[in-house]
Amino acid sequence: GDTNLFNNFASKTVVVDISHDLRLSKNASVDTVQPGEQFSYTLKIENLGPNTSRNITLTDTIPEFLVVDKSSFSVDPNSFLENAHQTLLVWNLDNLETNSTTVISYFATVKNSDALSESPFEVVNTSSVTAEGDTNLFNNFASKTVVVDISHDLRLSKNASVDTVQPGEQFSYTLKIENLGPNTSRNITLTDTIPEFLVVDESSFSVAPNSLTKSANQTLVVWNLASLEADLTADISYFVRVEDSDFLPESQFEVVNTSSVVAKGDTNLFNNFASSAVVVKKPVLLTDISVSQFVKTDSFSVQGADTIWFVKPGDTFSYFINIVNQSDIEAVNVVLKDILPDSVSVANFASRDTIDWPLGNLQPFRDTTFTFEATLSINVGEELTELTNTVIVQADNEDPLKLDNNISTATETVFIIPPTILSESCELLTLDFNVYEPQSGAPLGITFELNTSRKVQLDVYDMGGAHVMKLAENRFNEGLNRFEWFGLTESGRKVGSGVYIITLLSDNLICWKKVILAR
């Protein structure tokens, strides 16, 4: 029965306002980081109002080379998706009141990877937040750049414990790696090339290598070192031995050991190489050579086991020099040095006092005899009564402890007949004995024959030219004459054993005979 239906209806409009403004910011605990180091990210969502924000989605994209510590989230994400290039984190948040904030943090580590690009480089982490009713999308994104700096400077040096070594001997090499900074060096590869003729003692490495490869010409040793902090050093040492081989190239040669160190991020490659040179000297095999000599002239006499040689001014006589290698090692570059007596000359060497003769090599237990002729000057003075020849033999590899037999002084002394006393020998003068033994009781009979009656002087001299006794100075008759000597001096004393000269002087006639007196 309601007669007016137009006022039977009423309505009220209520505005539902979900508008708000979310602002996202992001921060990292460091600006610069090194591989292997951990740092933290912090995400902050602010609701600037005017209303509550609901059903918020926060997305965080973790770039390549960063590894997230899943246990470190202050708020666990709703999803965690990983692929080869990134890690995607998603949080679904319920409500965020006006003028409120939500903070989420977690830790990440830079991968210690060979795939890292050259240092330094940037890793950029980007994040976004979304919610229905957000009236300002320009502040819904945030990013943080962290610089990964792996720059450093490795310096390599190398040293050997010796400068010179002999085959069979052992010595050590020491490698030293220094990190001059500014950052830690990682994934270091040290390579050492050990040359031919060196044998590595594989048990001697102070740090065991990761690989050791041998070939005909070298041994390649490689170490893979994890890291070396700035301003620290790493030392590696080991022993090698020189091969004791007949195939060593020379008596002296150089072996050069080269090494290198590499690591990504090394900013100076000029000091990444080192070498060490060691001189290998083959041991000199020592020999023992000796020398002896004897002399031979046209005039001599025998006294027991000795031979006495005589020479007159102007005579040419011979030296015989015998060199013997007394060892089982070849004597190398044998040289004979002869120090000649005064007033003696050798053909082609007349003006020299010392003569060197190179004789080449002398095989083990072999000998060689060297002969040369010498001439006594015609103008020799009376004061020169004997000649002494000295010879010295040398070899490049002579044992320095066995040099006493390298020098020989003429053991067979050459006596010079004084020309003022003895100028000739003749058959007119004869002796009963060549060897006279006074103890037998018999005198030494001296017989001489004269063609006329004349004055004759008989004398005895020793081999040094000293006057021993005047036997007679009388006129003797024509024909055979005889005189006797009993081995006494002018004063009646017995003379010693030795060689004596009996002389006869008569006008221009000078005769002499030698006799050996043996007691």
Q: Look-up: residue for tokens 């982490």? A: 125
What is the identity of the amino acid at 172? S
Topology classification of domain 289-416:
Immunoglobulin-like (2.60.40)
CB-CB contact of 281 with 212 (8 Å): no
Instruction: Indicate the CATH number for domain 429-517.
Output: 2.60.40.4070
- The boundaries of every CATH 2.60.40.4070 domain in the chain are 429-517
| DSSP letters for 403-465 | -TTSEEE-SSPEEEPPTTT-----TTEEES-SEE-GGGS--EEEEEEESS-EEEEEEEEETTS
For the stretch 473-512, what's the b/e string if a residue is b when 16 or more beta carbons lie within 10 angstroms of its beta carbon? eeebeeeebebebebeeeeeeebeeebbbbbbbbeeebbb
- Give me 129's structure tokens: 């937040």
The single-letter code of the amino acid at 100 is S
Which residue is listed with tokens 């505005």?
15
Beta bridge partners, 223, equal 190
Residue pLDDT, tens place only, 342-361: 788 887 765 567 888 899 99
Tell me the pLDDT band of 113, cut-offs 50, 70 and 90: low
- Asked: is 154-281 a CATH 2.60.40.10 domain? The reply is no
Collapsing DSSP to helix, strand or coil, 122 comes out as strand
Higher pLDDT, 450 or 178: 178
CA distance 409 to 407: 7
pLDDT at 416 over 60: no
Instruction: Using the predicted structure, report yes or no on whether residue 114 has a pLDDT greater than 90.
Output: no
Maximum pairwise Cα distance, the chain: 221
pLDDT score, position 304 = 47
Q: What is d(CA 396, CA 331) in angstroms, rounded to the nearest whole number?
A: 7
Cα radius of gyration (the chain): 57
AA identity, residue 59: T
Pairing of strands 86-96, 164-165: unpaired
Is residue 48 predicted with pLDDT exceeding 90? yes
Q: How far apart are CA 482 and CA 445, in angstroms?
A: 7
**What beta strand segments (E) does 363-402 contain?**
367-376, 386-387, 390-394
pLDDT > 90 in the chain, percent: 49
Contact call for residues 230 and 182 (beta carbons, < 8 A): yes
- The dihedrals phi and psi of 101, each to the nearest 5 degrees, come to -130, 155
CA distance 122 to 118: 11
pLDDT tens-digit series, residues 272-304: 999 999 998 877 788 999 999 888 876 655 444
| Mean pLDDT confidence for 456-468 | 83
| 362 has a pLDDT exceeding 90 | yes
β-sheet with 170-179: strand ranges across: 154-160, 170-179, 233-242, 198-200
Looking up tokens 């005039």 gives 299
Residues of the chain with CATH 2.60.40.1530: 22-148, 154-281, 289-416
Q: What phi, psi does 351 have (nearest 5°)?
A: -95, 10
- What is the residue type of 56? I
Give the CATH class of 22-148.
mainly beta
Q: Which residues contact 203 (CB under 8 A, 6 or more apart)?
A: none
pLDDT of 322 > 90? The answer is yes
